[in-house]
Chains A and B, each alone.
Chain A
Amino acid sequence: MATQHSRSAARVMISPAVLLLLAWMLIPLGMTLYFSFQRYNLLMPGAHPWVGLMNYKLFIQNPAFWTALINTLLLVGGVLIATVVLGVLLAILLDQPMWGQGIVRILVIAPFFVMPTVSALVWKNLFMNPVNGLFAWLLPKLGMAPYDFLTQAPLASITFIVSWQWLPFATLILLTAIQSLDSEQMEAAEMDGASALSRFWYITLPHLSRAITVVVLIQTIFLLSVFAEILVTTNGGPGNASTNLTYLVYARSLLNFDVGGGSAGGVIAIILANIVAIFLMRAIGKNLDA
């Protein structure tokens, strides 16, 4: 696309796609912004008067907001730590030559193919159920009292379920990164007198830094909006114990029929997601530069 002519032709050609994309993104965003400044509750038909920042004020002043905010960060942070740490260990394990490697790798990837609602329900009903669950059967055998995971530790349980879903993704990316590690580097380190632990710390981990960054950035995008797992297991409860921002917006707009309040929550969630993104890019974005 060197000449003036071909460049303007290119612009004309891509414009329909760009316009469609813009409409696709801008119209919902514009409507969300528009509704967020109105008193618009489906239970109160009639006019939708402008109320300025009222919806935002109400959303933030609601004590559930701060709980949801903290829960969101705990959920994202917990899943990130669990998937990265376990993912690195699993990737190293899967990189070792072993019998039945192909099958083991497919098994490790399997959870990623199970849709969130299904996997959350499986965990809830087959494993964590205080009466019928596998753990309820197992714990007394080990001399411990049965534990109602989703009631007594709802956020931790959901963090666990979501980690289980995302572990394959992290493992897969980290495994391909480990496989690209030059074996001569490892041998050089071995000759230099580095123990297995030092080799992991000084060679493997730095080599993985870029892959870890990719895992963290991609997962953060998806983890900020975890919803299905909460809906089918705890419904955000008990109380607000497992409500995150996404779930709070849902509760606002669809359970309370408060379109205005929900929209304001959505806008706040967008702003917070961007803050997290800026923070992440500052902290680890430099790993992506070659």
Chain B
Amino acid sequence: MGRITLDKVTKRFGDAEVIPPLDLTIEDGEFVVFVGPSGCGKSTLLRLIAGLEDVSGGEIRIDGTAATELPPAKRGLAMVFQSYALYPHMSVRKNIAFPMKMAGMPKEEQERRIDNAAKVLNLTDYLDRRPGQLSGGQRQRVAIGRAIVREPAAFLFDEPLSNLDAALRVGMRLEISELHNRLETTMIYVTHDQVEAMTMADKIVVLRAGKIEQVGTPLELYRTPRNKFVAGFIGSPTMNLIEGPEAQAMDAHTIGIRPEHLDVSSTDGRWRGTVGVAEHLGSDTFFHVHDTGLAEMITVRADGEVQLRHGDTVYLTPQDGKLHRFDEQGLRIA
């Protein structure tokens, strides 16, 4: 079980209020991703849940019991740190065994769980090595192994993949998702990378300056962003935001259209512009379109076969029902 409830949780460092009062419920078995720009308080929020920081106000409940005053070890949560935080002088086996040793678990049970974790994480051949002799991805797996063997109520991950190279990151992303499917344990995952958030989450929590901007499934956030910030943060390449007469004509302060929701034509369409840089990915091509009179630059996602050259004239047409409208405060107009 791992249902975590935050009730008006607040955190201040001195005078700086990093987390204003915040309510959030994380259901048992959910994969929740906290996403937001660097410095928005994601780690702080995670550390509050873990018990590594004291809350300045509010209540944290884990499975219905008050956990606000509990020390980290008593909350039944396991954390995987960005730096992995492995114990460098212990072998992989001892690293994984450490939480069980601290809990005074019988040796046979320890061995059984270590073997299990090693099998799941492909670490069997490395059990007698030191962390210093492992690659980044292997260290990451050891850190996860150390978390698994405790059979925690929930796993907390703080940007666990940010020290890995791109290819490894994709692989580990899959492994963590698979692990979640197998264990069905609650996982809270912090990242600043919206791709990680979109690909892994059951539920995404978008944070800005300590405040929750929106909570929802990846597709909800993609389809109906509640405000301009979420609209700009979720999706890659980012949504085109257009202000001015074109927006006013639609009774909005700002309108938004995702690059993939613009149809491209070289003969006719709603907006006319000039092609700038083209980024060819093979399957798709991203065109930067200038001189549309809408915004500095409009990004368009077109099929990889579309042939347009620098300086060509293009016509863009937004697809039906894919336009997002926002008012002066940046809030979505339904």
Q: A198-B102, A206-B89, A207-B89 are in contact. Are A192 and B73 (CB under 8 A)?
A: yes
Q: Is the CB of A193 within 8 A of B52?
A: no
Which of A184, A190, A192, A198: most chain B Cβ within 10 A?
A192
User: Contact partner of A193 among B50, B86, B102, CB < 8 A?
Assistant: B102
- Residues facing A in B72-110 (CB within 8 A) are 72-73, 77-79, 81-83, 85-90, 98-99, 102-103
* CB-CB nearest in chain B for A187: B52
Instruction: Report Cα–Cα, A182/B98, bound state, in Å.
Output: 17
Instruction: Report Cα–Cα, A195/B102, bound state, in Å.
Output: 8
B146 sits at the interface (CB 8 A): yes
Instruction: Report Cα–Cα, A190/B77, bound state, in Å.
Output: 11
Q: A184-B81, A198-B102, A202-B98 are in contact. Are A191 and B87 (CB under 8 A)?
A: no
- Residues facing B in A190-243 (CB within 8 A) are 190-195, 198, 202-203, 206-207, 209
CB contacts (< 8 Å) of B146 on chain A: these are 188, 192
A152 sits at the interface (CB 8 A): no
Q: Is the CB of B83 within 8 A of A190?
A: no
Looking at chain B's contact residues, is the secondary structure mostly helix, strand, loop, or mixed?
A: loop
Categorize the interface residue count of chain A.
Answer: 10 to 19
Instruction: Report Cα–Cα, A189/B98, bound state, in Å.
Output: 8
* CB-CB nearest in chain B for A205: B89
Q: A191-B50, A193-B73, A202-B98 are in contact. Are A184 and B85 (CB under 8 A)?
A: yes
Q: Is the CB of A187 within 8 A of B81?
A: yes
Report how many residues on chain B are interfacial, defined by Cβ distance under 8 Å: 24
A185 sits at the interface (CB 8 A): yes
Instruction: Report Cα–Cα, A207/B51, bound state, in Å.
Output: 25
State the Cβ distance, B259 to closest chain A Cβ, in Å: 38
State the Cβ distance, B268 to closest chain A Cβ, in Å: 58
CB contacts (< 8 Å) of A189 on chain B: these are 87, 98
User: Contact partner of A191 among B72, B82, B86, CB < 8 A?
Assistant: B72
Q: Is the CB of B52 within 8 A of A192?
A: no
Q: A202-B98, A207-B89 are in contact. Are A191 and B78 (CB under 8 A)?
A: yes
* CB-CB nearest in chain B for A207: B89
Q: A184-B83, A206-B89, A207-B89 are in contact. Are A191 and B98 (CB under 8 A)?
A: no
A interface list, Cβ under 8 A from B: 182, 184-185, 187-195, 198, 202-203, 206-207, 209
B interface list, Cβ under 8 A from A: 50-52, 71-73, 77-79, 81-83, 85-90, 98-99, 102-103, 146, 150
16 contacts between A and B (CB under 8 A): A182-B85, A184-B82, A185-B86, A187-B52, A189-B87, A189-B98, A191-B51, A191-B79, A191-B99, A192-B98, A193-B103, A194-B73, A194-B98, A206-B87, A207-B88, A209-B89
